[in-house]
Amino acid sequence: MPEILYEDNHLIIVNKPFGMLTHGDKTGDQSLEDVLKAYIKKKYHKPGNVYLKSVHRLDRPTTGTLMFARTSKGHERMAKQFKDRKVEKIYLALTRKMPVPEQGTVSHYLRKNYEKNFVEFHNKEVNNAKLATTNYETLAQIGQYALIELKPETGRSHQLRVMLQSLGCPIVGDVKYNGVKASNPRAIMLHSKSLTFTHPTLKEPMTVEAGLPDLDEWHLVRNR
């Protein structure tokens, strides 16, 4: 069972572990959505089907803050906040090279190959490509790693992974995008640190933050 960071009648936010799907796919592997539905059904003695729907998603090897809606009202309102770019998402990444420049904003046109689950970037508009923009800042050099903070303005598939590859500093563990191997082959060193948003019914600003996963590379960050 993943760590629950926040829970009420409308939302449940968890610290997603690496190696787990956000929701089910053709592999048939158990997803976080499956696990949380079972948890809600048992905790609240829910008869029949449980309503639970992810508001956004994280890639299977990525960790950190992940939001699900427990009501259709919660989902509709939070999905609109994500779409309107009113949710601040902060990620941390570890790379083996320092980006040049060490901070800035990167915009690319991204096009996904669905058969290969691979995203390519282009510096100009091409067919079926979507503009993706990310702000980044290098926070520290820790041993052989650079610690980078990422604030995506858009939410494209593999956006942060491709952006760092384009800068010549792919994420540790992200072999799909030319990163070096990590201590655990099921993980990449990309962590959704926090989400800042307005609660869908309380209308109050909230920030929910997730601690770093139990991986050798992230222990270096904790101990610095």
For residue 171, CA distances in Å to 108, 133, 163 come to 18, 17, 10
Residue 9: closest CA among 40, 34, 38, 33: 40
Residues 6+ apart with CB under 8 A from 130: 109, 110, 111, 154, 156
Which of 59, 84, 214, 216 is labelled catalytic?
59
Q: What angle do CA 89, 94, 99 make, to 5 degrees?
A: 90
Q: What are the helix and strand counts (H, E) for the chain?
A: 4, 11
Which amino acid, one-letter code, is at 105?
A: T
Q: Is 8 a catalytic residue?
A: no
Q: Give Dmax over CA atoms of the chain in angstroms.
A: 55
Q: How many CB atoms lie within 10 A of CB 121?
A: 20
Residues carrying an active site annotation: 59
